[in-house]
Amino acid sequence: MGVGLLYQEGYFEQYLNAAGWQQESYPINDYANQPVQPVPNADGSHMTVQVLIADETLTAYVWVADVGRVKLYLLDANHPANSQELRDLTDRLYGGDRRTRIRQEILLGIGGMRVLRQLGLNIAVVHMNEGHSALLALERARQLMQDNPSLSFWEARDILAAGCVYTIHTPVPAGLERFGYDLIDEHFPWLWKALGLTRDEFHDLGREQMGGYDLFSLPVMALKFASGANGVSQLHGEVSRMMWQWLFPDVPEHEVPVGAVTNGVHVQSWISREMGDLFDRYLGPRWRSESSDPEVWKSVEKIPDAELWRTHERRRERMVSFARQRLREQFRARGASPSEVESADEILNPDALTIGFARRFATYKRANLIFRDLERLKRLVNDPHRPVQFVFAGKAHPHDQPGKELIREIARTAADPDLRHAIVFLENYDMTIARYTVQGVDVWLNNPRRPKEASGTSGMKVIYNGGLNCSILDGWWAEAYNPRVGWAIGMGEEYNPGDEDAQDEIESQAFYNVLEQDIIPMFYNRGRDGLPREWLRKVKDSMIELSAFFSTDRMLKEYYERYYHPAYERYTKLTDAGLKTGRGFANWLEHVKDAWEDVEVVDVQVDGDSVNVGESLNVRAVRCRITANIKQKQRASCMWRVALLMLFIASPTQAER
Ligand SMILES: *Cc1c(COP(=O)(O)O)cnc(C)c1O
């Protein structure tokens, strides 16, 4: 099940004023018209949950949404028992200030765990997605200590960590939750008392030094409370190990316990009806139920090129008519003349090579990169035989001024008489716009500053719809790309801070080059039957090679097999009657930590005297003893032996292997 907040005003609706500046409006959601239900108490009344916010009690309604087979519980602070300030707490996603944010996260984490308990659910494994939910770990400890009065906080932590998984979703600082200690002191005295901690001990749970300041960091706390952690692509896993290495002193970077599970997309939510019907005919029904099986996708080979192309072209045409209709509405809303409104029907060409770019307008995503050389862009767009056109959409965070500048630049450029027929910005990016674009474009463009795109998912959505990706080798594309399935911009270079301008210049030129030399010629190279054979070969290779892996079906199996199930096994082992095993484990761990300085491995036996890369090797720590006063130098030189010893203690069978 999932737990979240129900925002009365959601995120925001976006429209642009005549100058191209993003404007935000916040229409009120009417829950009666949304797919949410009140969760009933036994007596039929609407269930609520209570949490302490500073010294005020907050009462929140509990709602539920059915998402497929999953229950999504949503908390809503707009309850008449609350002060006005607390009633407004769940008005907006990203609304208010830092105080609002920490209070939202108290409701989510602490309130969320309480709802699950009220529902009578005994949760074995929690998955904290980004630090926002991390306070749940403290409420979980509080509950366990309440049920087992002699348990210390540290014992509770060691036991509960076994059933706690944490996923890091971004390396970008704006996405990492950190709070000043004034807010911690304002909100948590009751909690550190309930946990039997001193103020200092509580402060240390999330301490992170940032530019001369100490902050309370939810990612830090989450890493300390999880026994499994991961980033959302292989590259992001590496970046995360580097970022959080400081939390694991003495552990080499590649051994920092943060793995990677690459994101995937929910195929059934993103594929067009037309393409789905085509797959039904040539792949059989299994592509819908077992999309992570690579065998299923091999049958894409059987789809005749003409049918694949016709299906894709139909979706491009639908996208163009959708975009024109939206543009008419946008023109009308800005008070354009009737003839101007009508001119929307001459914008975009249903047969032209169409490139899509739609995502949040965070600055690292560089939505304006293709506008660096306007003359070169104009030549490409206005080629009478081989035209190119672009569809843009995306919201900037309401407080992100540079992000809003990007939107304004695109809106202004799109109004240039030489470009306006071929470059459009669709307002109010949402899943509807996302569907029309990922289903209709020929090429999906992604040009973030590597390595800031943790994964990116919109490009995965085009795979199933017969589009191709052209992207910087960042996030998912760094592992998906090969020359058969799409195009790379650059070769995965990274630049130093301060070199942004040079980077933009080099990478925009690289994009124009790929577009001119590879993408455009291949798209317009048609056989006598009018089909772009080479292009369709690429589309099929992209579908055959990428579809299985970049589906949520594969992703969820991986979370289950590598994180959820092992966490479940660990947790159930440690939570036997009276928490006997769990307490024993926590005390053993304490003992090892205390004695660690004095551990010495005297002798290690290795089977065989040579080994090739990729072969396995038997290693045994045959004699070890704990001695006092080993010198620092000796310790460093036998670090790898100590690591083996640790493995040996934790799991003799694995060490044997
Ligand atoms: C897929 C999707 C995203 C995520 O796109 P990224 O490529 O990960 O930035 C964001 N918003 C909407 C509406 C989407 O459909």
For residue 359, the CA-to-ligand 1 centroid distance in Å is: 5
Q: What is the pLDDT of residues 440-462, one digit of tens each?
A: 999 999 999 999 999 999 999 99
**Integer distance in angstroms from the first to the last C-alpha of the chain?**
37
Rounded CA separation 149/578 (Å): 11
Residue nearest to atom 10 of ligand 1 (CA): 359
Residues 6+ apart with CB under 8 A from 139: 109, 110, 113, 114
Residue 83 clears pLDDT 60, i.e. is over it: yes
Q: What is the pLDDT of residues 382-395, one digit of tens each?
A: 999 999 999 999 99
Position 630 scores a pLDDT of: 42
Rounded CA separation 296/354 (Å): 29
For residue 241, the CA-to-ligand 1 centroid distance in Å is: 25
Residue nearest to atom 1 of ligand 1 (CA): 458
Q: Closest ligand 1 atom, CA of 431?
A: 13
> Count of alpha carbons within 13 Å of 13, Cβ hemisphere only?
6
Compute CA distances 596 → 247, 380, 585, 592, 645, whole Å: 17, 65, 16, 6, 11
For residue 556, the CA-to-ligand 1 centroid distance in Å is: 19
For residue 580, the CA-to-ligand 1 centroid distance in Å is: 46
Position 656 scores a pLDDT of: 43
Q: What is the pLDDT of residues 210-263, one digit of tens each?
A: 989 999 999 999 999 999 999 999 999 999 999 999 999 888 999 999 999 999
Q: What is the pLDDT of residues 359-381, one digit of tens each?
A: 999 999 999 999 999 999 999 99
Position 174 scores a pLDDT of: 85
Which comes out higher in pLDDT, residue 598 or 136? 136
Q: What is the pLDDT of residues 503-555, one digit of tens each?
A: 999 999 999 999 999 999 999 999 999 999 999 999 999 999 999 999 999 99
Asked whether 229 and 200 are in contact (CB, 8 A), the reply is no
Residue nearest to atom 11 of ligand 1 (CA): 359
Which amino acid is located at 230 in the chain? N
Residue nearest to atom 6 of ligand 1 (CA): 456
For residue 4, the CA-to-ligand 1 centroid distance in Å is: 19
Position 611 scores a pLDDT of: 76
Residue 644 clears pLDDT 70, i.e. is over it: no
State the pLDDT confidence band at 113, using cuts at 50, 70 and 90. Answer: very high
Which comes out higher in pLDDT, residue 12 or 619? 12
**Mean pLDDT for all residues in the chain:** 93
* Ligand 1 pocket, Cβ-based, cut-off 6 angstroms: 359-360, 429-431, 434, 456-458, 461
Instruction: Compute the average pLDDT of residues 87-92.
Output: 97
Residue 615 clears pLDDT 90, i.e. is over it: no
Q: Closest ligand 1 atom, CA of 359?
A: 9
Position 655 scores a pLDDT of: 44
Place of tokens 């304004």: 408
For residue 360, the CA-to-ligand 1 centroid distance in Å is: 7
For residue 457, the CA-to-ligand 1 centroid distance in Å is: 6
Tell which residue, 192, 186, 143, 187, has the closest CA to residue 163: 143
The SS3 assignment for 317 reads helix
For residue 435, the CA-to-ligand 1 centroid distance in Å is: 10
Q: What is the pLDDT of residues 183-211, one digit of tens each?
A: 999 999 999 999 999 999 999 999 999 98
Instruction: Compute the average pLDDT of residues 311-322.
Output: 98
For residue 154, the CA-to-ligand 1 centroid distance in Å is: 39
Q: What is the pLDDT of residues 343-364, one digit of tens each?
A: 999 999 999 999 999 999 999 9
Quote the DSSP letter at residue 306. H
Residue 634 clears pLDDT 80, i.e. is over it: no
Position 594 scores a pLDDT of: 81
Q: Closest ligand 1 atom, CA of 263?
A: 8
Q: Which residue from 270, 361, 457, 472 has its CB within 8 A of the most atoms of ligand 1, so it is best to mutate? A: 457
Residue nearest to atom 5 of ligand 1 (CA): 458
Residue 590 clears pLDDT 80, i.e. is over it: yes
Phi and psi angles of residue 622, each rounded to the nearest 5 degrees, phi first: -85, -30
Position 631 scores a pLDDT of: 44
Task: Domains for the chain: give ranges and CATH numbers.
Answer: 1-121 (no CATH), 124-264+551-597+639-650 (3.40.50.2000), 295-549 (3.40.50.2000)
Q: Closest ligand 1 atom, CA of 433?
A: 13
Rg over CA atoms, the chain: 28
Position 597 scores a pLDDT of: 74
Residue nearest to atom 8 of ligand 1 (CA): 456
Residue 638 clears pLDDT 50, i.e. is over it: no
For residue 559, the CA-to-ligand 1 centroid distance in Å is: 21
Residues 6+ apart with CB under 8 A from 398: 12, 24, 94
State the pLDDT confidence band at 423, using cuts at 50, 70 and 90. Answer: very high
Instruction: Compute the average pLDDT of residues 472-486.
Output: 98
pTM attached to this predicted model: 0.92
